[in-house]
Amino acid sequence: MKRLFYFVRHGETRFNQEKRLQGHCDSPLSQTGIEQVKQLKKVLDQRYFDAVFASTSGRVRLTTDILLKNRSLSCTYLDDLQEPSFGIVEGDYFQDHRELKDCFEQFDWSFFHGDSFEKTKERIQRVFKEILSKTKEDDRILVVSHGTMMQMVEKVLLGMEVLAYRKHCHQQGKSAIPNAGILIFSYEDGHYSLVQAPVSPYEINLEPEEKTIHFYYVRHGQTLFNQQKKVMGQSDSPLTEKGIEQARIVQRKLSRIPFRKAYSSFAKRAIDTTKIILEGRDVPISIEKDLQQLDFGDLEGQSRMKVNDEMNDCHEHGEDFRSHQGERKEDLLVRFDRLLKKMVLEAKDGDSILLVSHGTYYTILIDRYAGLNRKLLQYQQAKLGEKESYHGGIALFEWKNQQFQLKQLMKKGSDFREEK
């Protein structure tokens, strides 16, 4: 399995703007540089990263801060990702030193008491060895660094003819190392391979990732309110002994599914069901308000027998409980779309994901993705001797070809068999 690297150069700085040398010395991002990084963020927000590594330079730290805004992801800062030292000419103007042309062609600044090619080469090899040791196969890795370091990656790791590439870019009227530009490459079986040559944040177009994701949708186990036949949407009640056993049946049925992650409704009945299913397994659980049941408003907590007509009327009129200060199905689907985008972004090709949620939530998804409203679903399932959903029931959905689709309608946990 390969690791995928997204190597980013910092945004334009004042020294870049003024065409002054900037290796180990530093200068802040210009306003243009900040806008460049913001543009790159829009592009990279289409990707999920398992790990982030960055140079310790201030210009890179600011670039990284912008890129990671609104992501719950920490960055590992490494000195070895710093730009090479250009020696005694740091901060000088390029035009003031004719010898710099040879230095940059040879990637060697020892003439000015800066870093030699061998020293920078050794640093590139060392830092990527460290990054590989801190990541795992199939990880998506963001690296934020510098322009010359980008070219050293091309030369040392990717074996590119960097001078020829510079000339080609010059003929095309573009930079070989654009500020806030991105170089994409992979690592697999000891070899680095180019995926995308450096491109500016205004030119790059990341295609949607082709991936297949398997979703195992489980309804929580029976609760006290279920047992007492009380209406329960966003209100909550604990699992009964029967509900706990239903969750344990699901645990046994899905014991061989290699879940990468689980997403549970915010309701404790769903969280407890999730924990039972995954007991003894190291699977991260994300608690999601967007997986909460439809809000049934002032009908919640009441005897189902007492408010049965009102419940059925709301169900039959598009799952619309606004007349009782609750939600309608469109509100729930907005929540689901938001969550689906997050889940697809985070997942990798072939992942199996556990979803633990609710009965009406499930029937609304079936309405959208199978074209079966509650009545049609009940009718179809009754012909097969089944119900529309079960406590501890299991259904299968799949993300494939950029679409979310139903694979199997819900079965009792004890009856579930994955169809091939």
| 52-69 confidence digits (pLDDT tens) | 999 999 999 999 999 999
Residue 379 pLDDT? 92
What lies within 8 Å, CB to CB, of 126 at 6+ separation is: 80
Residue set of the binding site: 219-226, 269
Q: What is the band of 173 on the pLDDT scale with cuts at 50, 70, 90?
A: very high
3-state secondary structure labels for all residues of the chain: CCEEEEEEECCCEHHHHCCECCCCCCCCECHHHHHHHHHHHHHHCCCCCCEEEEECCHHHHHHHHHHCCCCCCCCEEEHHHCCCCCHHHCCCEHHHCCCHHHHHHHCCCHHHCCCCHHHHHHHHHHHHHHHHHCCCCCCEEEEEECHHHHHHHHHHHCCCCHHHHHHHHHHCCCCCCCCCCEEEEEEECCEEEEEEEEECCCCCCCCCCCCCEEEEEEECCCEHHHHCCECCCCCCCCECHHHHHHHHHHHHHCCCCCEEEEEEECCHHHHHHHHHHCCCCCCCEEEEHHHCCCCCHHHCCCECCCCHHHHHHHHHCCCECHHHCCCEHHHHHHHHHHHHHHHHHHCCCCCEEEEEECHHHHHHHHHHHHCCCHHHHHHHHHHCCCCCCCCCCEEEEEEECCEEEEEEEEECHHHCCCCC
Residue 10 pLDDT? 98
Name all domains of the chain by residue range, CATH numbers in brackets: 3-199 (3.40.50.1240), 213-412 (3.40.50.1240)
Side-chain-side CA neighbours of 150 within 13 Å: the count stands at 27
pLDDT higher than 80, residue 312: yes
Residue 205 pLDDT? 86
* Residue whose entry in the numeric block shows the structure tokens 């009545």: 375
Residue set of the binding site for substrate: 219-226, 269
pLDDT higher than 90, residue 208: no
Q: In whole numbers, what is the pLDDT of the chain averaged over residues?
A: 96
pTM of the model: 0.87
What lies within 8 Å, CB to CB, of 396 at 6+ separation is: 214, 215, 216, 217, 406, 407, 408, 418, 419
Average of per-residue pLDDT across 307-336? 96
| 144-166 confidence digits (pLDDT tens) | 999 999 999 999 999 999 999 99
Q: What is the band of 329 on the pLDDT scale with cuts at 50, 70, 90?
A: very high
Q: Report the C-alpha gap between 164 and 183 in whole angstroms.
A: 17
Residue 234 pLDDT? 96
Residue 87 pLDDT? 96
Average of per-residue pLDDT across 286-292? 98
Residue 420 pLDDT? 72
Relative orientation angle of helices 58-67 and 31-44, to the nearest 10 degrees: 40
Residue 307 pLDDT? 96
pLDDT higher than 90, residue 236: yes
Q: What is the band of 178 on the pLDDT scale with cuts at 50, 70, 90?
A: very high
Q: What is the band of 419 on the pLDDT scale with cuts at 50, 70, 90?
A: confident
Burial of 303 (0-12, 13-18, 19+ CB in 10 A): exposed
Residue 88 pLDDT? 96
Calculate the alpha carbon distances from 357 to 19, 82, 166, 245 in Å. 57, 47, 54, 17
Residue 207 pLDDT? 86
Q: Report the C-alpha gap between 85 and 108 in whole angstroms.
A: 10
pLDDT higher than 80, residue 5: yes
Q: Report the C-alpha gap between 166 and 105 in whole angstroms.
A: 10
| 52-66, 371-385, 388-402: the lowest-pLDDT one | 371-385
Amino acid at 256: R
Residue 323 pLDDT? 96
